Structure 1
Amino acid sequence: MSLVFILLAVIVFIILASSTFKLHPFLTLILASFITAFACGLPSGDIANIISQGFGGILSYIGLVIVLGTIIGTILEKSGAAITMADVVIRILGKRFPTLTMSIIGYLVSIPVFCDSGFVILNALKQSMAHRMQVSSVAMSVALATGLYATHTFVPPTPGPIAAAGNLGLSSHLGLVIAFGVIIAAVAAIAGMLWANRFLHIEPDGENNENLSDDSTNLESHLHKYGKLPSPTRAFLPIFIPILLICLGSITQLPAKPFGQNGLFDVFNFIGQPINALMIGLFLSLTLLKGPDKIKQLSHYISDGLVLAAPILLITGAGGAFGAVLKATPIGDFLGSSLSELGLGLFMPFLVAAALKSAQGSSTVALVATSALVAPMLDSIGLSSEMGRVLTVMAIGSGAMTVSHANDSFFWVVTQFSNMSVKQAYKAQTMATLIQGLTSMTFIYLLSLLFI
């Protein structure tokens, strides 16, 4: 019982420190590691070493993936490639399905670009589409936001899912994580889009609603800052080629050895490793650079990407440290055996991630902390197989989107750029994320009946 009390106390500490006292998640997780270690009686001389090895261990094979993915996303964002992606979807679907079009745009753009940035980038386009298609901007905002949110929590190379996969020992199987993430994110996006359709004829009720009368000049002025937009091929290749290569790399590892033992096996095994695949994606993104001084521009984009990646790396490393401490204590085995008797299975990581997300607001923190927490107990709850770990990442991602409300920066981005009141945003956006989380978790459970 004392171990349960220790774990509950640590979880309460993480929630209060990050939400009530606004302590940075990095320091929160490091302090949680020390508190857990001392409370469980680990030898004092070993604690610092366990934390250091846990911190460095997770970053040794996932750190460069996060950095490269963030830099590629920054280049796609700054070059206008995200706008090109959106334009391709609009040309294919036209004006027949406004919320579906908006949802697909968000779904695609948020694979390389953070959901907050993606919403800001696409806001003018969203307003213009709502005006031209004579659809409420509330419905279009929710469709865009939930599309962005879906891939943000499920599909690598977004940092949260990558970190969770790393904590659960899936760094060499990211292709499998991507494959399931793409499907489950699609289910979550559809659920969000269907909820958005409830607001097709409900206008935003914010104080500055008169400023939302969109016209073509607003969109043109927004696009002008990007200059000439890149072609669809140049826009899509830097993100979809790495994803394809990572998936091929995972296929090479299948027991059937579809590419044999040499030749193609060696080629795909090399270029399919996440770091190598993302390096190829980075080289492909260089075609998006503009102007005479491309080297200086690239250096500037890399600097911006590193600034974005730094806090994510620290949080991920701190999550690895927390996980290493938990593995060194009897908490994981004890809790795992206790939970296995309750038969919660995949619902346990979902509930933990949902509690952390709802309490402190960050999906990335919820993904990192929950994956570190559940990693030591996977054997006990029957999820230690490869598919069990993949679906555990998905269950954590599902919880990490449940729910987005006032303590989440994304909630305020959607609210302010859509000119919704807080009350309306809770009805539209927060309820949408709740529906997304519950729907995707139900789908994940059904998948577990087939694959585990």
Structure 2
Amino acid sequence: MHLVLILVALIVFIVFATSKLKLNPFITLLLASFLAAFAFGLPIDSIEKTIRTGFGNILGYIGLVIVLGTIIGVILERTGAAIVMAESIIKMLGQRFPTLTMSMVGFIVSIPVFCDSGFVILNSLKRSMARTLSVSPVAMTVALSTGLFATHTLVPPTPGPIAAAGNLGLENNLGLVIAVGFVFAVIAAAAGLFWASRCRNLESKELEQAEEAFQEAREHYGELPSAWAAFAPIFVPIVLICLGSVASYPTAPLGQGGLYETLNFLGKPLNALMIGLGFAVVLLKGDNKLEEFARHTQKGLEVSAPIILITGAGGAFGSVLSQTPLGDYLGDTLSTLGLGVIMPFLVAAALKSAQGSSTVALVTTSALVAPLMTQLGLDSDFGRVLTVMAIGAGAMTVSHANDSYFWVVSQFSKMGVATAYKSHTTATLIMGLVTIVCVWLVSLVAL
């Protein structure tokens, strides 16, 4: 029992340090790693090596993937490609179902672009559509924010899901994570869209000059790329990763010849994202593309550095826990309770609600539960993928005042805090609960 009390105390420490003391999650997780090592009685001479190895192992692969994915996202954001992606979806779907269209715009754009940045980029487009089509601004806001949030927490190459997949040993099976993540992200976005339709009577104070604001935002980017050029940097790598996963499937559906070797090589996430980066470079315009590329790369490094460090610290924390008797003890206990995917969801939801960051919740929870996969009955590739989905569902639950995304959504949409809680926060709660119920039902059938 004392092992569980130590684990609970560590979780409380992480929540308290990040939410109340405002300590950086990287330092918090590193401190938690040392505290866990001493509290669980690891040999003194092995503590430093365990932490260092855990930190390095996770970053040896996932770190580069996070950096490349972030740089691609920055280029898509700063060249106006995200706007082109949004307009292409609107042209394809038409304007008969504006909230559905807005949700799908967010859903696609947030795969390479952080949800905060995505909302800022697309806000003027959302306002223009709401005004032109006489649709509730709040309903459109919730449709956009939840569409963005769904893929942000569930679909690689967004850094949070990638880090969680890496912590759970799925770095070579990201294609399966992407495919399953798309399915559950659609479910989550649909739940958010349902709540958006319930928010039509809520009021906000969005500006009237919406169409002019959108045109100004659009003109800011100058000449925009073609739709193919805009989508290629993200969808080419995703297709390659998925094809690589198919090629390396145990039944060898593509044989073992040249086609297998080619797709297996191109489908490695690092290789696929390098190809995606090549497509992103094509988007650069101006006389000095090298200088422009250097600026975007620098910004990508600045954005990705904290995520990489937090991911590494999460790996260190998980490495320490894997060396303790906690797994065996919890295995005997949890196997009788049958919690399965519910346990990682609850931990992620507690962390998300307490400290605000979905990425921190994804990284920390995945590191925490990685040593417990066998005990939870999830020690298979698909079981680990469902665990990533459960953690992603928890990382949605809920976005409120301690979450920067909450303030981006509410302030850019001119909503009062009370309205934002009724619309955006409630929507993220519904999304998380609906998603984990679906993940749990799939686990009952598939595992």
TM-score (norm 2): 0.99
Partner residue of 1:256 out of 233, 239, 251? 251
Q: Which runs of 5+ in 2 are unaligned?
A: none
**Secondary structure at the counterpart of residue 171 of structure 1:** coil
**Secondary structure at the counterpart of residue 406 of structure 1:** coil
Alignment of 1:234-249 (within 5 A): 234-249=229-244
Alpha-carbon offset, residue 216 of structure 1 = 2.4
Q: Which residue of 2 aligns with 1:195?
A: 195
Output the CA distance in 1 between the equivalents of 2:156 and 2:230.
Answer: 18
Alpha-carbon offset, residue 451 of structure 1 = 1.9
Output the CA distance in 2 between the equivalents of 1:280 and 1:62.
Answer: 17
Alpha-carbon offset, residue 449 of structure 1 = 2.6
Deviates more, 1:263-272 or 1:222-231: 222-231
Output the CA distance in 1 between the equivalents of 2:93 and 2:202.
Answer: 23
Q: Which residue of 2 aligns with 1:380?
A: 375
- 1:84-109 deviation digits (Å, cap 9, x = unpaired): 01101111122210100000000000
Partner residue of 1:402 out of 397, 402, 406? 397
Alignment of 1:43-54 (within 5 A): 43-54=43-54
Alpha-carbon offset, residue 381 of structure 1 = 1.6
Output the CA distance in 2 between the equivalents of 1:213 and 1:340.
Answer: 57
Alpha-carbon offset, residue 255 of structure 1 = 2.0
Output the CA distance in 2 between the equivalents of 1:428 and 1:72.
Answer: 31
Q: Which residue of 2 aligns with 1:129?
A: 129
Aligned identity (percent) is 63
- 1:169-210 deviation digits (Å, cap 9, x = unpaired): 000000000000011001100110110011224321xxxx2x
Q: Which residue of 1 aligns with 2:143?
A: 143
Partner residue of 1:232 out of 224, 227, 240? 227
Q: Which residue of 1 aligns with 2:63?
A: 63
Output the CA distance in 1 between the equivalents of 2:156 and 2:412.
Answer: 27
**Secondary structure at the counterpart of residue 198 of structure 2:** helix
Q: Which residue of 2 aligns with 1:416?
A: 411
Partner residue of 2:319 out of 324, 342, 366? 324
Alpha-carbon offset, residue 61 of structure 1 = 1.1
Partner residue of 1:429 out of 424, 432, 442? 424
**Secondary structure at the counterpart of residue 298 of structure 2:** helix
8 A contact 1:332–1:374 mirrored in 2: no
Q: Which residue of 2 aligns with 1:298?
A: 293
Q: Which residue of 1 aligns with 2:349?
A: 354
Alignment of 1:5-404 (within 5 A): 5-204=5-204, 209=205, 212-404=207-399
8 A contact 2:127–2:211 mirrored in 1: no
Residue 127 of structure 1 aligns with an amino acid whose one-letter code is R
Alpha-carbon offset, residue 448 of structure 1 = 1.4
**Secondary structure at the counterpart of residue 212 of structure 1:** coil
**Secondary structure at the counterpart of residue 172 of structure 1:** coil
Output the CA distance in 2 between the equivalents of 1:381 and 1:357.
Answer: 22
Output the CA distance in 2 between the equivalents of 1:417 and 1:387.
Answer: 39
Alpha-carbon offset, residue 256 of structure 1 = 1.8
**Secondary structure at the counterpart of residue 199 of structure 1:** coil
Output the CA distance in 2 between the equivalents of 1:236 and 1:426.
Answer: 33
Output the CA distance in 2 between the equivalents of 1:267 and 1:244.
Answer: 14
Output the CA distance in 2 between the equivalents of 1:8 and 1:218.
Answer: 49
8 A contact 2:30–2:317 mirrored in 1: yes
8 A contact 1:249–1:273 mirrored in 2: yes
Alpha-carbon offset, residue 254 of structure 1 = 1.3
8 A contact 2:124–2:210 mirrored in 1: no
- 1:338-395 deviation digits (Å, cap 9, x = unpaired): 1121111110101111011101100001001100111111111210011101100100
Output the CA distance in 2 between the equivalents of 1:202 and 1:38.
Answer: 52
Q: Which runs of 5+ in 1 are unaligned?
A: none
**Secondary structure at the counterpart of residue 344 of structure 1:** coil
- 1:128-157 deviation digits (Å, cap 9, x = unpaired): 110001011111111000000000000000
- Alignment length, in residue pairs? 447
